[in-house]
Chains A and B, each alone.
Chain A
Amino acid sequence: MAERLFTSVIWLSTALVVAMLLWILGDLAYQGMPHLSLNFLLSEPMSAGRSGGIGPILVSTLLIIAVTLLSALPLGLAAAIWLAEFTNRGSAVGNGVRLCLDVLAGIPSIVFGLFGNAFFSIFLGLGFSILSGGLTLACMILPVFIRTCEIGVSSVNDAWRKGAAALGMTRSAAVWHILLPAASPAIVAGLILGIGRATAETAALIFTSGYVDRMPGSLLDSGRALAVHIYDLSMNVTGGDPAAHASALVLLVLIMLLNLLAQGLSDRWLQRRLSV
């Protein structure tokens, strides 16, 4: 009996989450679908975004995400590996780093925006730019990404480490050839959470990559991210609701595609080497 109760609680919770998502998606689709078209995806915004499309904005968004992932991934993985494999359990340094990451995770996004503006845009002289926005976002997603990867790597069965040692492999080789591939599901989870955070950010990007909705010519140009565009259309521009909802739908599809890509890449590169 208790078994059945438990099972139904689990299924109910899941159903609740699905229902909420369907509600949100339904609302978006209802208001946004009429506004969607191929033209919408490719052309430039006109009349403050109410007509025309989101072409340049999509390009800016993709560039920002690229900068974020290219800077956060290597840095984050390296830090996670160090924490998981090369610090002693309970070491002060390791714990100190973990504490720093937890604190970073709790800093409000608007503070990151102001920080990014002061550090990347003004101090480093990048100005309002895609680079500035991407680097700021990288700072924001590092905590989640590192934590998830760390858990993944350190949870790998100890027997594998011992096996690697028995084979005479160096620690680094063990990490590269065995632990990372084995931890790939966790790494992907971290990536997905990171991508999600990066695409969803508004407050941080307004002050760093900016408001300009022109097609960016370089990483040093200002470019409007899709989330910023959605915010402006729904909160600031009169009559921008249909375009806002359509843009939100596009953003969700983009997120899905990125997640599938992350999953696919991990399956190909990492899992394949684990042909056990």
Chain B
Amino acid sequence: MSKRNSLFQWNLDRLVVPPLAVAALICVAILLLVLAFLVYEASPVLVDGGWRVFLSDTGWYPLEGLFGLIPMLWASLVLMLGAVIIAAPIGLACAIFIKFYAPASLNKVFRLILSLLAGMPSVVLGLWGLTELVPLIAKWQPPGASLFAAILVLALMVLPTVALTSASALSAVREDLLAGAAALGIGRKAQVLGLVLPAARYGIWSGILLAMARAIGETMVVLMVAGNVVQYPHGLFEPVRALTANIALEMAYATDNHRAGLFASGLMLTLIVLVLAWAASRIVGRNQHG
């Protein structure tokens, strides 16, 4: 159904729509401002092809003038993927639970639990990871602070995003579709997998994408439990340093080119998210009306 048809009344709608559009454009403006800020602060290393050192230098030793950040880039990507691979299925399962399997009493309680987890400060999660999870892993595979620990805690952190957005998406699926399926004698599992999930896939993918963005942008948790050693993520129990943790660790002490380099790495992260978002929008297809 086209949105711009004879329903577009001349009086009220004409007045109401422009402010709404302005609101949306303000959001775009915010993004542009942030990008401009990043580019400005990173400019000392971006001009004259100075950024090449990020790709070619061996090792990250800014005090000695070495700025190789490819290992950290890989670490950020692997962390994000690992977290989402764990969080997406479990989060989706939680959403399915809320919508289809939970008895009414448990429903509210479980939603509460999810929102508690959603609101858990990253510093609290990180602290718990550092004092409870990392020592456990260290007993088995030192040093404990590792890719594995960070993936687990990150997954825990983005899981509510997937669960809550998916739950909203599932709730929005038309009731009559489900009623029809039940009338045909289709079992719950088939209903969910074959009917509801596909119908809700736009919302679910939005949730997963938001979770990915959150995971790659997370600073505090990875700072506390990933080990922060600059190296390629070559083992699950090896320490790694994410680009975000790098910015947090060194921004306080960085001057001139080092500081610009850190901002450049922030810019790189943003570009990655841009690519991810664009790719996701290609794959998922357009929004459907209910």
Task: Write the residues of chain A forming the contact surface with B, with a CB cutoff of 8 angstroms.
Answer: 2-3, 6-7, 9-11, 13-14, 16-18, 20-21, 23-24, 27-28, 74-76, 78-79, 81-83, 85-90, 95-112, 114-115, 118-119, 139, 142-144, 146-148, 151-152, 154-158, 161-162, 165, 170-173, 185-186, 189, 192-193, 195-196, 199-203, 226-227, 230-231, 234-235, 244, 248, 251-252, 255-256, 258-259
- Judging by beta carbons under 8 Å apart, are A105 and B219 in contact? no
Shortest Cβ distance from residue A162 to the other chain B in the assembled complex, whole angstroms: 8
Interface residues of B in 19-75 (CB under 8 A from A): 19-21, 23-28, 30-31, 33-34, 37-38, 41
Nearest neighbor of A77 in chain B, beta-carbon distance: B23
Residues of A with C-beta under 8 A to B159:
17
CB-CB nearest in chain A for B206: A147
How far, in Å, is A70 (CB) from chain B's closest CB?
14
In the complex, A39→B169 CA distance in Å? 44
Closest to B167 in A: A189
Bound Cα distance A87, B33 (Å) = 24
B160 touches A155 (CB 8 A): no
| Contact for B28 among A20, A96, A112, A185, CB less than 8 A | A96
- A174 CB to nearest chain B CB (Å): 8
Contact between B110 and A118 (Cβ–Cβ < 8 Å)?
no
B218 at the interface (CB under 8 A from A): yes
* B123 and A186 within 8 A (CB): no
**Residues of chain B contacted by A259 (CB below 8 angstroms):** 112, 115, 119
Shortest CB–CB separation between residue B228 and chain A, in angstroms? 14
A89 touches B286 (CB 8 A): yes
* Inter-subunit contact B118/A196 (CB<8 Å): yes
The digit string for B203-218, where 1 denotes a CB below 8 A from any CB of A, is 1001001101110111
Chain B contact residues: over half helix, strand or loop, or mixed?
helix
**Hey, which chain B residues are within 8 Å of A20, CB to CB?**
156
Residue pair A203, B118 in contact (C-beta under 8 Å)? no
- Judge whether B256 is part of the interface by a CB distance below 8 angstroms: no
What's the nearest-Cβ distance from chain B to residue A252, in Å? 6
Point out the residue from A23, A87, A202, A235 that lies within 8 Å of B132, measured CB to CB.
A23
Digit string of B161-180 for contact with A (CB within 8 Å is 1, else 0)? Answer: 10111011101101000000
Cβ-closest chain A residue relative to B220: A202
Contact, CB under 8 Å: B8 / A171: yes
Q: Is the CB of B20 within 8 A of A81?
A: yes
- Contacts known (A86-B21, A111-B38); A165 close to B7, Cβ less than 8 A: yes
> A89, A110, A185: which contacts B219 (Cβ < 8 A)?
A110
Per the bound structure, the CA–CA distance linking A23 and B277 in Å amounts to 34
Whether the pair A203, B273 counts as a contact (CB closer than 8 A) is no
Pick from B168, B172, B193, B217: contact of A107, CB under 8 Å: B217
| Cβ-neighbour of A192 out of B21, B118, B169, B218 (below 8 A) | B118
Residues of A within 8 A of B83 (CB): none
A185 and B111 CA atoms in complex are apart in Å by: 12
Complex CA gap A252/B216 in Å reads 24
List chain B residues, Cβ under 8 A from A2: 189
Cβ of A170 and Cβ of B13 under 8 Å apart? yes
* In contact, A155 and B203 (Cβ under 8 angstroms): yes
Residues of chain B within 8 A (CB-CB) of A79 are 20, 23-24, 26-27
Q: Does B9 contact A (CB under 8 A)?
A: yes
How many residue pairs between the two chains, A and B, have CB atoms under 8 Å in the bound complex?
317
Q: In whole Å, how far is B192's beta carbon from the nearest beta carbon of chain A?
A: 8
Asked if residues B7 and A171 are in contact (CB atoms below 8 Å), the reply is: yes
The reply on B198 being an interface residue by CB < 8 A is no
CA separation between A144 and B208, bound complex, in Å?
12
Top-6 shortest CB links A-B: A106-B273, A155-B172, A102-B277, A106-B213, A78-B23, A196-B119
Shortest CB-to-CB span from B3 to chain A, Å, is: 6
The listed residue (A14, A27, A114, A172) touching B93 by CB distance below 8 A is A14
Q: B160: shortest Cβ distance to chain A, in Å?
A: 7
Q: How far is the CB of A207 from chain B (nearest CB, A)?
A: 10
Given contacts A11-B97, A151-B202, contact A248 B121 (CB under 8 A): yes
Instruction: Point out the residue from A74, A85, A252 that lies within 8 Å of B120, measured CB to CB.
Output: A252
Asked whether any CB of chain A lies closer than 8 Å to the CB of B89, the reply is yes
Picked from B119, B214, B220, B286, the residue with its CB within 8 Å of the CB of A199 is B119
Closest to B266 in A: A111
- Give which listed residue, B115, B172, B217, B218, contacts A151 with CB less than 8 A: B172
Contacts of B161 in A (CB 8 A): 144, 193
Q: Which residues from chain A contact B89 at a C-beta distance below 8 Å?
A: 13
29 contacting pairs across A/B (C-beta < 8 A): A6-B192, A7-B189, A10-B97, A11-B97, A11-B101, A24-B128, A75-B26, A96-B28, A99-B277, A101-B31, A102-B210, A102-B276, A106-B217, A106-B272, A107-B217, A107-B270, A109-B217, A111-B34, A111-B38, A112-B34, A114-B263, A147-B210, A151-B287, A155-B290, A170-B13, A171-B7, A192-B115, A196-B160, A248-B127
* C-alpha spacing A193/B277, complex, angstroms: 20
